[in-house]
Structure 1
Amino acid sequence: MNRRDFLKLAGVSLLSLAALTMGCGLFNAAKADAPAPKVKQSTSEGASQNMNNGKKILVAYFSWSGNTKAVAEEIHKQVGGDIVEIVPATPYSETYSVTVAKAKTEQEAGARPAISTKIADFEQYDTIYLGYPNWWGSMPMPVATFIDTYKMSGKKVAPFFTHGGGGVQRCMSDLEARAQGANFTDYLCLSGSSAKNSQGEITSWVKKTQN
């Protein structure tokens, strides 16, 4: 199914998506030859002062459909700091069924797909807002690559997830197991269908993470 067919059959896709616990929405594929995504720094005065009680903040996210991206951007708007997308070096297909199958294969194999995301000075960050969609009950494997690459031990990590009906499942427990030594806040979990209209829920959660 191509992108146009996907949009026409959105109702069917949403049902399939809920069954397989993956996010829904428009897909924003990274080009295979695109340069490595750069960390975007906030230009607001509050962010320049590092906000969150003087702590340096990074919002890092993986998004296939655009839902997790929307949540990440709203979080960044509220907390300031810097933001970066976790982008696989080889983009996932725009075809839903192909990406579903590949995600399952990668998870079963414990794969660590290469990512093009580069962060020059990860050590400077005190607080990491880390987000991704629920894929087959857990994290997409590019996120595992990111966690293995950028160690979070000793950092405050505020996790946020999107899902297509499966809820949080192992997203949090697998993250805790992989990012050992991190200090986790309560997580935020939003359905993909409501992700782009959850400013109030995000605000309430952000306040909790700043305590």
Structure 2
Amino acid sequence: MKKGLIAYYSRKGQNYVGGSIINLPIGNTEVVAKKIQILTGSDLFFIDTMKGYPIDYMETTRVAQRELDDDARPELTDTVDNMDEYDVIYLGYPNWWGTFPMAVFTFLESYDFSGKTIITFCTHEGSGLGHSLADIKKYCQGANVLDGIAIKGGSVQNADFQIEKWLNRLKK
């Protein structure tokens, strides 16, 4: 049986959902990650940065844009010590500026994913997966990158059926 890891970045606090800025006690991507964990039994790993983002959502978007423009690699708070034990990596992230947050780039560049299967899931407010799959394929050569799922942030609480259906399709 293949062992799975759900590695995800998620931002709680002020977020843009359904056209408004609202305060989320748990980030949308984390909600999806935990639903996937229930369905797959995979381990969870939160991709977190040493330096947090601003509380203000609009300021966070400006910082995220600067990081993308600068091709930044934020330092992470933790590592996966036993990455070799995992065959399947469920990689989750919000879509920021057409791809994933730069912390996810840091994560991907920290390990050799050759021979592993990477399955993506993304939360967004209208931009879907953007070019994130192409970015993963670029940084994870030798990995089998499967089509991901993009879930609108405002819909994550009610996405159980959508996630289950997607996971069942992947098993075929």
Determine if the TM-score, normalized by the shorter chain, exceeds 0.5.
Answer: yes
SS of the equivalent of 2:147 reads: coil
Q: Distance in 1 between matches of 2:50 and 2:98?
A: 23
Q: Shift of residue 94 of structure 1?
A: 1.2
Equivalent in the alignment of 2:59: 98
Residue identity (%): 38
Q: TM-score, normalised by structure 1?
A: 0.73
SS of the equivalent of 2:165 reads: helix
Q: How many residues align?
A: 158
Q: Distance in 2 between matches of 1:95 and 1:79?
A: 34
After the TM superposition, which parts of structure 1 deviate over 6 Å for at least 4 consecutive aligned residues?
A: none
- Asked if the contact 1:115–1:142 (Cα under 8 Å) also holds between the matched residues in 2, the reply is yes
Kindly provide the CA deviation profile for residues 85-126 of structure 1, in whole angstroms up to 9, marking residues without a partner as x: 000111111111111000000001110000012211111100
Q: Distance in 1 between matches of 2:114 and 2:101?
A: 21
Report whether the alignment pairs 1:63 with 2:10: yes
Q: Shift of residue 209 of structure 1?
A: 2.3
| 1:152-171 equivalences in 2 (<5 Å) | 152-171=113-132
Q: Distance in 1 between matches of 2:120 and 2:65?
A: 22
Unaligned runs of 5+ in 1: 1-53
Kindly provide the CA deviation profile for residues 31-70 of structure 1, in whole angstroms up to 9, marking residues without a partner as x: xxxxxxxxxxxxxxxxxxxxxxx01110110001300000
- Asked if the contact 1:161–1:171 (Cα under 8 Å) also holds between the matched residues in 2, the reply is no
Equivalent in the alignment of 1:201: 162
SS of the equivalent of 1:90 reads: coil
Q: Distance in 2 between matches of 1:173 and 1:106?
A: 19
1:133 to 79, 83, 94: 94
Aligned Cα RMSD in Å?
1.0
Equivalent in the alignment of 1:109: 70
Equivalent in the alignment of 1:184: 145
Q: What residue identity is the alignment partner of 1:196?
A: Q
Larger strand proportion of the pair = 2
| 1:18-37 equivalences in 2 (<5 Å) | none
SS of the equivalent of 1:185 reads: strand
Kindly provide the CA deviation profile for residues 131-177 of structure 1, in whole angstroms up to 9, marking residues without a partner as x: 10000011100000000002211101111111111122112111111
Q: Distance in 2 between matches of 1:195 and 1:107?
A: 26
- Asked if the contact 1:58–1:128 (Cα under 8 Å) also holds between the matched residues in 2, the reply is yes
Kindly provide the CA deviation profile for residues 12-39 of structure 1, in whole angstroms up to 9, marking residues without a partner as x: xxxxxxxxxxxxxxxxxxxxxxxxxxxx
Unaligned runs of 5+ in 2: 13-26
Q: Shift of residue 81 of structure 1?
A: 2.2
